[in-house]
Amino acid sequence: MNCLECNAQLNYLDHRNAMDSLGVELCTRHQNRMQTVIETHNTPLEAVQLYYGLKEVGVNAMLEWWDGKKSIDIAISRVKLNIEVDTEYHMMTHEQAMNDLEETMHSFKNGFTTIRIPHILIRHYLKETVHNILGIMQGLKANIKTI
Ligand SMILES: [Zn+2]
């Protein structure tokens, strides 16, 4: 087992700590760094897991990317795709839904596509979620070429 950031070898205890705290294989140094990001931005754990899931298949994404107005959970700038991980789906009010729709509108106007993914999907179906994001990226790339 190696750290997904620096490739440092993880011993059994390091690995168990990493999986217990973040659910991602990281060395102690990178775990601490990630904890700081999470505390600063209130990042859902599933956003971290999706970020590394994408990294594993070679997608260069950014975690907590500042778009000038707010911090995006995950941004893939090459295809102008923003991904927001929703953690409180079942409690959504119409105000929140309208805010989300307005944010989506603003990002579209700036040429960005925003998708929202419920955190439980990432938690239980990470591989499939990554697979579908790859498909979305392909579609976006094709659209960018035709414009
Ligand atoms: Zn590391």
Look up the CATH number of domain 43-146: 3.40.960.10
Domain boundaries, the chain: 1-41, 43-146
**Mean pLDDT, the chain, whole residue set:** 92
User: Residues 6 or more apart from 123 whose CB is under 8 A from it?
Assistant: 46, 49
> Is the confidence at residue 146, as pLDDT, over 80?
no
**Stretch 135-146: mean pLDDT:** 88
pLDDT digits (tens, 9 = 90+) for 46-105: 999 999 999 999 999 999 999 888 899 999 999 999 999 988 766 778 998 898 899 889
> Is the confidence at residue 145, as pLDDT, over 80?
no
CA of 7 to the centre of ligand 1 (A): 6
The whole-angstrom separation of Cα 142 and Cα 138 is 6
Burial status of residue 28 (CB atoms within 10 A of its CB: 0-12, 13-18, 19 or more): middle
CA of 62 to the centre of ligand 1 (A): 17
Residue-level pLDDT at 140 = 93
The whole-angstrom separation of Cα 72 and Cα 89 is 17
Please compute, for residue 91, the number of CA atoms within 13 A of its CA located in the half-sphere on the CB side: 3
CA of 87 to the centre of ligand 1 (A): 27
Percent of the chain whose pLDDT exceeds 70: 97
